[in-house]
Amino acid sequence: MKERIEALLADVRGLVCKKEQEIEEARVRLLGKKGEITKLFEEFRTVDKEQKRLFGQALNALKQEAAQKIEELKAVAQSGASANGGSKEDLTAPGDDYPLGSRHPVSIAREEIVQIFRKFGYDVAEGPEVEDDWHVFEALNFPPEHPAREMQDTFFVTDNEQKNPILLRTHTSCVQVRCMETMKLPIRVVCPGRVFRNEAISARAHCIFHQVEGLYIDEGVTFADMKQAILLFAREMFGPQTQIRMRPSYFPFTEPSAEVDVSCNICHGKGCNICKGTGWLEILGCGMVDPNVLEASGIDSKKYSGFAFGMGVERIAMLKWQVKDLRHYFENDMRFLKEFETSI
Ligand code: PHE
């Protein structure tokens, strides 16, 4: 009897049935009215006392284990997986094709801009998108009634009549103010981030876009240093043949200020529809930091000077990849996004 109990126990433990029908067959074979375990119980009745004492427990344990195993197999079969950890499905079938995402062109362009300046030794700083009037305007030499505040069409969070209202930053120059307030001189920093302007959405403008702005402050920094830094950047970004030109401009926080154009990388200066026949494409604004701005952040403008620049990431990406409509960046159209899969 001992051997038969042991053999059946091994049989139970080795059971692997996948289909419910197979499991039912195993149950009948072992525990059914004429099943092998049931038969053992019948024989057990006739054995002598000594034997009963020896095998009673083992027989009960066998029955219990068999019943439990059958239940387990049934549960697994119902949940769709098999007892040995596989699945009902064909394991040799090829896997599902999950489409891989790709990086957004704005991220790719921002990263490229930041990396170029990192190579030049610039740090990277970020700051809050919801800012106060001081950091966005006041410390940057915008007087209270200055039309430039209107020029930037600000989204106000709190009442704009109150003192130092809260607003959505219209440029990341406010991060540069925070850097001037907290960092040790000399400062060499780029500030990437999202900015907000209350503008009608069109092919050329959006109320949300991204900027990378830069700031360099040290003793004896000149306009020539700025020009060289921007030329090097333009050549890294658009290719070694790139030329730049500077046109006088105005920003409250820089004096003198300039607008920078790069030679059109499509027609190489001959004139095409991208550069509207001029051979030049505007890429950024820049200038020498106004002494008032340095002083507002507690920097001695007699000892230190510096330059700042700021560019729109969407615009740089548009020029680099000839994207014609700014709205593509925000619509998440897979056909558009897929074109940048290989630019990572
Ligand atoms: N902050 C300016 C803008 O948002 C860009 C700029 C930065 C211009 C620094 C000059 C110097 O347009």
Give 73 Cα–ligand 1 centroid separation in angstroms: 70
**Spatial distance between the Cα atoms of 256 and 187, rounded to a whole number of angstroms:** 20
Percent helix, strand and coil across the chain, each rounded to 5?
40, 20, 35
Distance 310 CA to ligand 1 centre (A): 4
> What's residue 263's pLDDT?
92
Separation of CA 214 and ligand 1 centre (Å): 9
Quick check: CB of 310 below 6 Å from ligand 1?
Answer: yes
Query: Which protein residue's CA is at the shortest distance from atom 9 of ligand 1?
Result: 309
Which residue's CA lies nearest to atom 4 of ligand 1? 171
Q: Tell me whether residue 216 is exposed, middle or buried, using C-beta atoms within 10 angstroms of its C-beta: 0 to 12, 13 to 18, 19 or more.
A: buried
pLDDT digits (tens, 9 = 90+) for 259-279: 999 998 888 878 887 788 899
The per-residue pLDDT for 81 is 52
Q: What is the pLDDT of residues 316-339, one digit of tens each?
A: 999 888 888 888 999 889 889 988
Distance 29 CA to ligand 1 centre (A): 84
Question: At residue 3, does pLDDT exceed 90?
Answer: no
Q: What's the pLDDT band for 83 if we cut at 50, 70, 90?
A: very low
Model pLDDT for residues 33-50, shown as the tens digit of each residue: 889 889 888 888 888 888
C-alpha span between 62 and 190 (Å, rounded) = 74
Residue 312 three-state SS: strand
Which residue's CA is minimally distant from atom 10 of ligand 1? Answer: 286
CA distances from 257 to 92, 140, 142, 233 (A): 67, 14, 15, 18
pTM value is: 0.71
Give the whole-angstrom CA distance, residue 206 versus residue 199: 6
Q: Rounded to 10 degrees, what is the CA torsion of 8, 9, 13, 19?
A: 40
- Residue 142 Cβ < 6 Å to ligand 1: no
Nearest to 149 by CA among 203, 207, 198, 110: 198
Q: Residue 295 class from Cβ within 10 Å (0-12 exposed, 13-18 middle, 19+ buried)?
A: middle
- What distance in angstroms lies between residue 58's CA and the mean position of ligand 1's atoms? 86
Which atom of ligand 1 is nearest to 307's Cα? 11
For 89-134, write each residue's pLDDT tens digit: 778 888 888 877 889 999 999 999 999 999 999 999 999 999 999 9
Q: Is 69 in the pocket of ligand 1 (CB under 6 A)?
A: no
Which amino acid would we find at residue 116?
I
